[in-house]
Amino acid sequence: MKKNIFDIPIEVIKKGTKKYPQELLDLTDPPLELRVRGAFDASIFSNALAVVGSRKMTRYGKDLVETFVTALSSRNLVVISGFMYGVDTTAHRAAIEAGGVTIAVLAHGLNYIYPSENKDLYQLILDSGGCLISEYPDSFKPQLWTYPKRNRIVAALAKKGTLIIEAAEQSGSLITASYADALNRPLFAVPGSVFSKTSEGTNRLIKDAIAQMVLSIEDIVPSFNSGSDIAPTLFEDINKDEKALLAALSYEEMNIDEISMKVSKTVTEIGSHLTMLSLRGMVEETNGVYRIRTVKKK
Amino acid sequence: MLTTILSAAHSGLETIAIEVEVNVFTKGFPGITIIGLPNKAIEEAKERVKTAITNSGFEFPQSKIIINLAPADIPKEGSCYDLPIAVGILHAMGVVQLPKEKSFFYGELSLDGSLRHTKGVLLLALSAKQHSVKELYVPLPSSQEGAVVSNVSVFPVASLHELVLHLNGSKKIAKALIKPGNTESERLVAEFDFNEIIGQNHAKRALTIAAAGGHNLFMQGPPGSGKTMLARAVAGILPPLSPEESLEVTKIYSVTGNIPPGGSLIWARPFRISHHTTSRIGLIGGGSKPHPGEISLAHCGVLFLDEFPEFARSTLESLRQPMEDGEVTVTRAAGTLKFPADFMLIAAANPCPCGYLGDPKRECTCSPRMIMKYQSKLSGPLMDRIDLHVSVPVVEADKLIEHKDVETVSSAKIRERIIKAREVQYKRLSKSGIYMNGSMKNKHISDFVQLTTKASQLLKQAVNAYNLSTRTYFRLIKVSQTIADLEAADAVTETHVAEALQYRVRVE
């Protein structure tokens, strides 16, 4: 039988001890003790970046998180996030999938899981060599005020800075941003559509010059090698019709009816081409909308 | 004096012969008693029969009458025993002679002595041979149902008085003959034509494939994208029923009283729409005296369930067995019954409770938990049983003005194509007792489907790439076969498979 994750011992790290992360001392109100489950090493925070964002992430946000976190993990950066659904969860998962280390800072005790569907993620973080951190008693349930409090720890621990992906106005991510700003940690934000509610916060951070605008991974970490993470578009071994589809999709994502109108072919004709292209990993589809594939899957 | 008249009871789609024994006593207080587990409708037959006999100009006996419905241990219901009881009483009185041939009497009486439309006449006629019955006396409005069965004489009875004259030989009733009907004129008239619906060619193509092969289809899209309109338009592209199918459908409609007076065989393919408040028994069938539900009424036709996730989970899950088997087994304390339920399911759903998840223009207001709960109703085994999955996007008006539709085809044209594709399937499959690709079992697939080498390679590749279940794998083959049949192709090629993959189940 599988061991209960709550049986795994918790380490208590008191302020003032050697193991206590020095990064937290930058805070005006550093936590008196940290409770940790999993592998903990205070030296890794100098190489950690926080990735936070909207709970209600759009497809665009998901693509961003997966692209950036995969790249960060492959550059051996530790990804810190808040274990919440949306961007947080995606960031943790992407880091683990890329073989990286990820740390979750919880807004509740370690013997409590919220959201409950993240139970497997809790286990995955432990299995992949990451850890979960909380400043609250083990059975403490999340409260409205614990989330902003937790954010100060996220911002402080991430010495390399905080990357914000999709944040609405007055969202929790902006609280993390203001902490990072106050702590003089680098603050990065990825711009989004000006029509999207979940990009209002990030776009304003960029406009007000509080955050640095990030367009590619090189804007966060200068690249060691020029190896691109974007799948190269190989236009070989593709027939004429498929080429036309890829060309049409390279401007914007479209559903099959729109593609059909754009290339003036019936849905029956283009349907099989689209399947072939997606089987080859060149396009991807969600809810009937096709786009050129950007995130390279293993 | 004791008289025995033959009538019938229906249990599911089976017909049981019932002997109606009428004894008119010479002694005792006047009154009628009916025994043999009658329900309230039969109890009330006393008053109808008494009044009908009097109003037909005959005298009702002022004596004690006992009526026994044998076999006595089967519960009986319905109003069809009015006629046998009346005939029995009249014969006991010596007013009327019984026919020489073994005959069924069946029908409800009106107080004026005329006969009313009664359900279940087709089943009665079909069972006549089995009970070696030669003649059938049924109400005139229902006689066309019985007339379709050969080797049995169906006498359309307009009134009790007319029947007495006939049986006594003074004025014969003519046997009912089938009115030559134009099957094409009985086509289901759809509310919408496919060419009235702008855009949505992907969804239209999927519906065409679904209708051609009798495949189940699931549509997902935001409100206003036209899911309901598309589904309702399907009625206009369905091919007519084959004679075998027609008989099967008419049976169910006859026993549930869904055939209008004067109606006969049904040629239009059923198109049933169920609202999400439909109870489980209403949908599946059942009840203490089991009767067919909506899925059986949609046999050989289409069952459209709009707002699919709003249905109770237990209702949705109970669809699984009938969808797999093409029939539904209803087991009650009183016994087990089977109803045919080989229907094509069209289900429609919003992507989330508010409906705007993934919509480019409108913000979704649902919490992730709400979305998860909503979609969990759609996941798993039920979705696995649906062959075609389509997302129906909102059509943006400006995009439509900008570009011309690549293809607009009328329902009539699509229907022609479907009829042709069905003929191809019928030729291939009818020997094994099924009519459509959608009804193929795995055994049929290996017997009938010819995949080219490239096609099966592509299938295997897709199974690995998309993590498809074995069930989905076989569904893909069925859909590919239908796509091939629409082109009248000899074998299933990789192009067909590739298109079929467009409609596979999506699991996030």
C-alpha separations of B185 from B180, B182, B270 in Å? 12, 5, 15
Smallest Cβ–Cβ distance between A256 and the set B202, B358, B405 belongs to B202
Smallest Cβ–Cβ distance between B393 and the set A257, A261, A273 belongs to A257
**B83 band by pLDDT with thresholds 50, 70 and 90:** very high
Please state, rounded to an integer, the average pLDDT across all residues of chain B: 89
Would residue B78 count as lying in a domain? yes
User: B424-435: string of b/e by CB count within 10 Å (b at 16+)?
Assistant: bbeebbeeeebb
**B224 band by pLDDT with thresholds 50, 70 and 90:** confident
Q: What is the pLDDT at residue A35? A: 94
Judgement on whether residues B393 and B292 belong to the same structural domain of the protein: yes
Burial of A194 (0-12, 13-18, 19+ CB in 10 A): exposed
Q: What is the pLDDT at residue A284? A: 84
Taking contacts as CB-CB distances below 8 angstroms, the residues of chain A near B365 are none
Judgement on whether residues B208 and B294 belong to the same structural domain of the protein: yes
Residue A128, both tokens: 């992949």
Strands B271-274 and B31-35: unpaired
What CATH class is the domain A240-292?
A: mainly alpha
Taking contacts as CB-CB distances below 8 angstroms, the residues of chain A near B407 are 266
B406 pLDDT higher than 80: no
Residue in chain A closest to B487 (alpha carbons) equals: A268
Taking contacts as CB-CB distances below 8 angstroms, the residues of chain A near B198 are none
Report the CATH number that the domain containing residue B37 is assigned in CATH.
3.30.230.10
Q: What is the pLDDT at residue A234? A: 45
Smallest Cβ–Cβ distance between A261 and the set B351, B363, B403 belongs to B403
Q: What is the pLDDT at residue A298? A: 40
* B134, B167, B200 - which closes a domain: B167
Judgement on whether residues B88 and B150 belong to the same structural domain of the protein: yes
In B286-376, where does DSSP find H-type helix?
294-297, 313-317, 320-325, 368-376
Instruction: Give residue-wise pLDDT tens across range B419-429.
Output: 999 999 989 99
Shortest distance between the Cα of B340 and any Cα of chain A, in A, equals 34
Q: How far apart are CA A155 and CA A81, in angstroms?
A: 9
Please answer yes or no on whether A266 and B201 come within 8 Å at the CB atom.
yes
Q: Are B387 and B207 in contact (CB under 8 A)?
A: no
Please answer yes or no on whether B406 and A288 come within 8 Å at the CB atom.
no
Q: What residues form DSSP beta bridges with B332?
A: B335
Question: Of the ranges A149-158, B206-215, B454-463, which one carries the lowest mean pLDDT score?
Answer: B454-463
Q: What is the mean pLDDT of residues B409-434?
A: 90
Q: What is the pLDDT at residue A223? A: 52
B182 pLDDT higher than 60: no
Eight-class DSSP state of A230:
B
Residue B211, both tokens: 């209708």
Question: Of the ranges B24-33, B158-167, B182-191, which one carries the lowest mean pLDDT score?
Answer: B182-191
A vs B: CB pairs below 8 A: 85
Query: Which of A62, A194, A254, A257 to mutate: most B Cβ within 10 Å?
Result: A257
Please answer yes or no on whether B498 and A255 come within 8 Å at the CB atom.
no
Nearest by Cα to A15 from A28, A36, A30: A30
- Interface residue A266 vs chain B (CB under 8 A): yes
Q: What is the pLDDT at residue A296? A: 52
Taking contacts as CB-CB distances below 8 angstroms, the residues of chain B near A260 are 201-202, 406
User: A152-166: string of b/e by CB count within 10 Å (b at 16+)?
Assistant: bbbbbbbbbbbbbbb
Query: Which of A88, A169, A242, A261 to mutate: most B Cβ within 10 Å?
Result: A261
Q: Are B386 and B216 in contact (CB under 8 A)?
A: yes
Strands A11-14 and A33-38: antiparallel
Q: Is B91 or B199 the better-scoring residue by pLDDT? A: B91
Judgement on whether residues B139 and B203 belong to the same structural domain of the protein: no
Q: Are B217 and B234 in contact (CB under 8 A)?
A: no
Smallest Cβ–Cβ distance between A287 and the set B351, B372, B465 belongs to B351
Would residue B306 count as lying in a domain? yes
* B377, B401, B431 - which closes a domain: B431
Number of domains comprising chain B? 2
Nearest by Cα to B388 from B255, B231, B494: B231
- The DSSP code sequence of B75-110 is -B-SSTTHHHHHHHHHHHTTS-PPPSS-EEE--EEP
Residue A96: partners with Cβ closer than 8 Å, 6 or more residues away:
A102, A124, A125, A128, A130
Shortest distance between the Cα of B219 and any Cα of chain A, in A, equals 11
Judgement on whether residues B234 and B322 belong to the same structural domain of the protein: yes
**B404 band by pLDDT with thresholds 50, 70 and 90:** low
* B167, B202, B227 - which closes a domain: B167
AA identity, residue B449:
V
B240 pLDDT higher than 90: no
Highest mean pLDDT among A235-239, B289-293, B394-398: B289-293
Helix (H) or strand (E) holding A131: strand A131-134
Judgement on whether residues B360 and B271 belong to the same structural domain of the protein: yes
Would residue B290 count as lying in a domain? yes
In chain A, residues 80-119 whose CB comes closer than 8 Å to chain B:
85-86, 115, 117
Instruction: Give residue-wise pLDDT tens across range B254-263.
Output: 999 988 888 8
Q: What is the pLDDT at residue B403? A: 55
pTM for the model: 0.77
AA identity, residue B259:
I
C-alpha separations of A138 from A20, A21, B375 in Å? 19, 20, 33
In total, chain A counts a number of residues equal to 298
Q: What is the pLDDT at residue B399? A: 62
Please answer yes or no on whether B202 and A267 come within 8 Å at the CB atom.
yes
Domain region containing B155: 2-167
Judgement on whether residues B257 and B146 belong to the same structural domain of the protein: no
Taking contacts as CB-CB distances below 8 angstroms, the residues of chain A near B202 are 255-257, 260, 267, 271, 288
For B110-184, strand residue ranges (E) read: 115-116, 135-139, 153-157
Judgement on whether residues B14 and B77 belong to the same structural domain of the protein: yes
Question: Of the ranges B104-108, B123-127, B135-139, B179-183, which one carries the lowest mean pLDDT score?
Answer: B179-183
Residue in chain A closest to B498 (alpha carbons) equals: A272
Q: What is the pLDDT at residue B481? A: 95
Residue in chain B closest to A197 (alpha carbons) equals: B363
Smallest Cβ–Cβ distance between A275 and the set B391, B404, B501 belongs to B501
Judgement on whether residues B282 and B409 belong to the same structural domain of the protein: yes
**B382 band by pLDDT with thresholds 50, 70 and 90:** confident
B238 pLDDT higher than 70: yes
Nearest by Cα to B459 from B496, B485, B508, B484: B496
Nearest by Cα to B38 from B5, B85, B90: B85
Residue in chain A closest to B403 (alpha carbons) equals: A261
Smallest Cβ–Cβ distance between A272 and the set B403, B498, B508 belongs to B498
Instruction: Give residue-wise pLDDT tens across range A110-141.
Output: 999 989 889 999 999 999 999 999 999 999 99
- The DSSP code sequence of B385-431 is T-SEEEE-PPPPHHHHHHS--S----HHHHHHHHHHHHHHHHHHHGG
φ and ψ at residue A148, rounded to 5 degrees: -60, -35
C-alpha separations of B54 from A220, B42, B48, B115, B140 in Å? 100, 19, 10, 15, 21
Q: What is the pLDDT at residue B346? A: 95
Residue A37, both tokens: 């489950």
Judgement on whether residues B153 and B191 belong to the same structural domain of the protein: no
**B153 band by pLDDT with thresholds 50, 70 and 90:** very high
Residue A152: partners with Cβ closer than 8 Å, 6 or more residues away:
A27, A29, A179
Q: How far apart are CA B303 and CA A224, in angstroms?
A: 60
Residue B40, both tokens: 């309230």
**Residue that has been written with the tokens 């379709």 in this structure:** B148
Q: What is the pLDDT at residue B401? A: 59
Would residue B439 count as lying in a domain? no
Residue A290, both tokens: 């096709």
Please answer yes or no on whether B202 and A273 come within 8 Å at the CB atom.
no
Please answer yes or no on whether A272 and B199 come within 8 Å at the CB atom.
no
Write the CATH number of the domain with boundaries A6-219.
3.40.50.450
Instruction: Give residue-wise pLDDT tens across range B341-362.
Output: 999 999 999 988 888 887 777 7
Taking contacts as CB-CB distances below 8 angstroms, the residues of chain A near B461 are 279
Q: Kindly list the domain boundaries of chain A, sorted by start residue.
A: 6-219, 240-292
Q: Are A88 and A60 in contact (CB under 8 A)?
A: no
Taking contacts as CB-CB distances below 8 angstroms, the residues of chain A near B508 are 286
- Interface residue A253 vs chain B (CB under 8 A): no
Nearest by Cα to B459 from B503, B505, B506, B498: B498
Q: Is B407 or B317 the better-scoring residue by pLDDT? A: B317
Report the CATH number that the domain containing residue B195 is assigned in CATH.
3.40.50.300
Please answer yes or no on whether B501 and A264 come within 8 Å at the CB atom.
no
Residues of chain A with pLDDT under 50: 1, 224-235, 297-298
